[in-house]
Structure 1
């Protein structure tokens, strides 16, 4: 296993800097540059993903209205983003809740499946047990190629669920998969920037779904 070179992220860490004022100046400049980069990527991602977001929101709203449920899942930091998205739908600010769950929320189920049947099946097996053809499956990833997510999306497709994949880089396997109905790609090489933009795309998806469900006041809350 090789260590990742972080010099491009924090060039001042390895520098032999003894001037505290200069170090603080470097830190401030780095923070400003990252904020500018993040804001630009979020705007670009919203523009590029706009048509896919609109189509996905319409179908998700239709399924919610018909009694469908949403299941979200991801690995590592993306698992927390998936949980945040599920929580936004299930416990929205000043709006009626919608049925949404994160498949990483139950440690007992997650670890039992990982130990007993293999980690690649931790989400697919939950969808087998809990899912239905009218539901929605949302996979959140930076690579778009994690095996446990692609297997789960395949199971969701088999059941007839509507599938959404959040991905970074070039979209990975999500981008060309017949198991992904709506692929939202943040085109960046930085995991940090990808996850920041994915959070905004998730919030925009939520606001558009509420708009389709006759709750237009949620749209203003989803503006960048």
Structure 2
């Protein structure tokens, strides 16, 4: 084994590894990370709880009027965008499915636009093709600076879509846009904690939106 490997994992190559000490370090690291994300989620809830409820109300109104959800993001945020769309289309509980799809899912479209036009337009072009005035656009970014998200939000806003941004750090350039109706920022310097808290944000939006929609249907049934 190389010296680099031994420096990274000394407990694997030392003939006298203190297994108990290693396990104690792992245990403490896990506890520290769990505490960090719990505290961060609490900060987001205290700051944005009311705004999350308001955003979900607007999303429910769009869905009730026949609108659809279009999600997008890069890298790990692309996976989160697909997860968010999947929550609405295939809910794990008895909630009614709602129309949603991720703009990151069609690799042929993504690679064609990236190769022939430019990566900056991979989401804006799709919104231009599929987006309607009553739809919802949700974009996720850890930095808030992704150029293709900025262009996508501008295109979605121009088409009259409800726009929702989920970012990290201080919100980056997304915080400077006038084209985002609802922006939720996770105030952390850690990409890992940001993505964990962002997952909580969009799950909360999903649950709150369904609660509002269920309320609409109950009110209609009572008439």
TM-score of the pair, normalised by structure 2? 0.88
Task: Tell me, in whole angstroms, the C-alpha distance in 2 between the residues paired with 1:15 and 1:122.
Answer: 41
Name the structure where helix makes up a greater proportion of residues: 2
SS in structure 2 at match of 1:160: coil
Gaps of 5+ in 2: 1-6, 12-16, 217-223
Hey, what does 1:167 align to over in structure 2?
167
* Structure with max Cα Rg: 2
Hey, what does 2:69 align to over in structure 1?
70
Hey, what does 2:91 align to over in structure 1?
92
Query: RMSD of aligned C-alpha atoms?
Result: 1.5
Q: What is the correspondence of 1:196-207 to structure 2 with a 5 Å cutoff?
A: 196-207=196-207
Q: What is the correspondence of 1:158-197 to structure 2 with a 5 Å cutoff?
A: 158-197=158-197
Hey, what does 2:146 align to over in structure 1?
146
Task: Tell me, in whole angstroms, the C-alpha distance in 1 between the residues paired with 2:40 and 2:125.
Answer: 35
Verify the 8 A CA contact 1:52 1:183 in the aligned structure 2. no
Task: Tell me, in whole angstroms, the C-alpha distance in 2 between the residues paired with 1:144 and 1:153.
Answer: 12
Hey, what does 2:14 align to over in structure 1?
none
Task: Tell me, in whole angstroms, the C-alpha distance in 1 between the residues paired with 2:141 and 2:56.
Answer: 19
Runs of 4+ in 1 over 3 A off after TM superposition: 13-18
Q: 1:137 to 1:22 in 2, by over 3 A?
A: same
Task: Tell me, in whole angstroms, the C-alpha distance in 1 between the residues paired with 2:67 and 2:125.
Answer: 19
How many Å apart are 1:215 and its aligned residue?
A: 5.5
Q: What is the correspondence of 1:91-110 to structure 2 with a 5 Å cutoff?
A: 91-93=90-92, 94-110=94-110
